[in-house]
């Protein structure tokens, strides 16, 4: 009979007794390893306590390989309560045998605030190399794939052992999602999506991020998708424009904030000519009327209402940058947000000329609606580097804000007509070939409030967003492999 061994972390105050009890009576389970070792005196022949640190290190992964004598490994990756569904082990095992896949994972139910809700996962693909990919807390791993992948791990990993393991497995084996709800898990992290999304830029996690970057870079090299940054510069004098720069503001139904955004733009003090192009996507809440009034009073403000009614944020950007009034540089200002001070615009354009770059990305401070700073505060994306930013960009989910572009390049590339990920697409595409300038001091206030498009997302919307960015990464990796001569 095919056998399975399980690795189960302790909960905060106890072992997951229910899971251990169910696994104990399953004829499929050969052995259970519970960690870390705290000498609970467990009286079960199938259970052994071991010293391990939640898969964060190479040492831990190597120990799992050493102990995993069964054909398959059931890995609980978080200290949470797990309640397996009826015959879920059998389901995992059957699919693992039929497909010879390296890792299996599934949808699951989640207990949150004492309520059970569905937690669907998304399919793994070539571009799913971000380190925060959501597999859920339970993995079913082929022991042969586990052993083979671990042999290629770096010996000194302290934080990214499991991340390295699954990237290595993906190079030789498939990683497959079962679109069925095979278990129920508790959820200890009750923060909303808008809070969790900035964990990777928290300065306290810097050491982890550096190690993750090294692991991701090594993976890109192994799959022939690594690019040595060329840092190609742009001849900014080649094409003449009537206006030096434009502030681009796409907007739809933001009567509460659009006035602040426009005022922030009008207050900019510069040594060059500029205008403000607001693309009003058929607002119905009074935004259109306000913008009409403001544009009549300020000739710098150009108010555009597109003829099309199928445009999203990216489509509105295309309307602006292809308008004859657009300047040589197109600079972002979201309709919810404001610039840090009156010198922001000048700093951005100065950097374009100083570094002759195709794109400039700034840093911002997260605030509430009334501009009170909220955690984690400054988002500066210091994980970027000229030496490896173009590769590390495929590991993370965003490059920062505000973003500014050399307009002729935007007109050439074109912007996807989406309302999420269009900026990320531009970042990874431009970074293939061109230098990106960075400003690490705050030049932008990013306001978080209930009407933000990404303030609090449910799991289905979050999955759609992540699936889209993973697809962008898949296309980008295939493109880079082609550039490197892959067959």
User: Do both 277 and 386 map to the same domain?
Assistant: yes
User: Which pLDDT score is estimated for 15?
Assistant: 46
User: Which pLDDT score is estimated for 344?
Assistant: 97
67 — phi, psi (to 5°)?
-85, -20
User: Which pLDDT score is estimated for 11?
Assistant: 66
User: Do both 182 and 254 map to the same domain?
Assistant: no
Could you identify the residue written with the tokens 């990796």? 477
Count of domains observed in the chain: 2
In residues, how long is the chain?
Answer: 487
Cβ-contact 276, 268 below 8 angstroms: no
Q: What is the CATH number of the domain that holds 333?
A: 3.90.550.10
Residue 225 in domain: no
User: Do both 278 and 343 map to the same domain?
Assistant: yes
Dist CA 218 CA 240 (whole Å): 42
Domain termination site, one of 175, 190, 205? 190
User: Furthest-apart CA pair in the chain: how many Å?
Assistant: 81
Residue 236 in domain: no
User: Do both 262 and 336 map to the same domain?
Assistant: yes
Give the chain's residues under pLDDT 50. 15, 190-191, 193, 196
Residue 237 in domain: no
Residue 196 in domain: no
Dist CA 14 CA 209 (whole Å): 31
Cis omega (within 30 of 0) for bond into 376: yes
Look at strands 138-142 and 329-332 and give their pairing. unpaired
Residue 311 in domain: yes
User: Do both 179 and 290 map to the same domain?
Assistant: no
Nearest partner of 361 among 315, 316, 393, judged by Cα: 393
Residue 234 in domain: no
Cβ-contact 443, 426 below 8 angstroms: no
For the chain, count helices (H), then strands (E).
15, 18
Residue 221 in domain: no
Cis omega (within 30 of 0) for bond into 84: no
User: Do both 311 and 417 map to the same domain?
Assistant: yes
User: Which pLDDT score is estimated for 487?
Assistant: 52
User: Do both 182 and 256 map to the same domain?
Assistant: no
User: Do both 12 and 136 map to the same domain?
Assistant: yes
Distance separating the N- and C-terminal Cα atoms of the chain: 41
User: Do both 308 and 407 map to the same domain?
Assistant: yes
- Per the structure, the complete domain to which residue 323 belongs is given by 245-483
Residue 157 in domain: yes
User: Do both 361 and 470 map to the same domain?
Assistant: yes
User: Do both 113 and 42 map to the same domain?
Assistant: yes
Look at strands 82-84 and 115-119 and give their pairing. unpaired
Residues 88-100: tens digit of each pLDDT: 999 999 999 999 9
User: Which pLDDT score is estimated for 121?
Assistant: 98
């Amino acid at each position: 009979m095919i056998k399975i061994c399980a690795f189960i972390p302790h909960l905060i105050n106890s072992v997951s007794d229910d899971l251990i009890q169910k696994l104990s009576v399953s004829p499929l389970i050969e052995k259970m390893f519970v960690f870390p070792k705290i000498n609970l005196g467990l009286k079960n022949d199938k259970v052994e306590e071991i010293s391990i640190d939640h898969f964060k290190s190479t040492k831990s992964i190597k120990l799992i390989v050493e102990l995993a004598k069964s054909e398959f490994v059931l890995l609980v990756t978080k200290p949470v309560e797990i309640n397996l569904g009826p015959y879920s082990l059998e389901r995992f095992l059957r699919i693992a045998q039929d497909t010879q896949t390296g890792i299996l994972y599934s949808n699951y139910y989640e207990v949150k605030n004492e309520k059970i809700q569905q937690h669907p996962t998304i399919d793994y693909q070539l571009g799913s190399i971000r380190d925060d990919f959501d597999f859920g807390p339970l993995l079913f791993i082929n022991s042969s794939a586990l052993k083979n992948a671990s042999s290629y791990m770096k010996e000194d990993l302290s934080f990214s052992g499991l991340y390295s393991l699954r990237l290595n497995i993906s190079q030789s084996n498939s990683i497959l999602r079962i679109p069925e709800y095979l278990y129920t898990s508790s959820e200890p992290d009750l923060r909303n999506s808008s809070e969790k999304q900035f964990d990777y830029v928290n300065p306290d996690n810097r050491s982890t991020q550096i190690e993750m970057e090294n692991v991701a870079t090594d993976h890109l090299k192994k799959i022939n998708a690594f690019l040595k940054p060329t840092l190609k510069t742009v001849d900014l004098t080649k094409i003449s424009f009537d206006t030096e720069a434009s502030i681009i503001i796409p907007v739809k139904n933001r009567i509460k904030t659009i006035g602040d955004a426009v005022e922030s733009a009008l207050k900019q003090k510069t040594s060059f000519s500029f205008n403000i192009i607001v693309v009003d996507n058929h607002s119905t809440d009074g935004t259109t009327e306000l913008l009409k009034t403001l544009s009549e009073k300020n000739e710098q403000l150009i108010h555009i209402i597109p003829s099309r009614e199928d445009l999203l944020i990216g489509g509105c950007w295309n309307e602006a940058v292809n308008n004859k009034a657009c300047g040589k540089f197109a600079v972002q200002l979201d309709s919810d947000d404001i610039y840090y001070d009156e010198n922001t615009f000048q700093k951005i354009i100065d950097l374009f000329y100083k570094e002759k770059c195709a794109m400039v990305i700034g840093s911002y401070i997260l605030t509430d609606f009334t501009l009170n700073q909220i955690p984690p505060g400054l988002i500066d994306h210091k994980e970027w580097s000229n030496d490896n930013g173009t590769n590390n960009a495929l590991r993370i989910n965003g490059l920062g804000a505000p973003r500014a572009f050399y307009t002729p390049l935007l007109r050439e590339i074109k912007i996807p007509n989406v309302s999420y990920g269009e900026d990320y697409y531009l970042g990874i595409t431009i970074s293939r070939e061109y230098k990106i300038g960075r400003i690490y001091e705050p030049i932008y206030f990013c306001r978080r409030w209930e009407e933000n498009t990404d303030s609090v997302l449910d799991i289905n919307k979050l999955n759609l967003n992540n699936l889209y960015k993973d697809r962008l990464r898949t296309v980008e990796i295939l493109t880079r492999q082609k550039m490197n001569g892959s067959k």
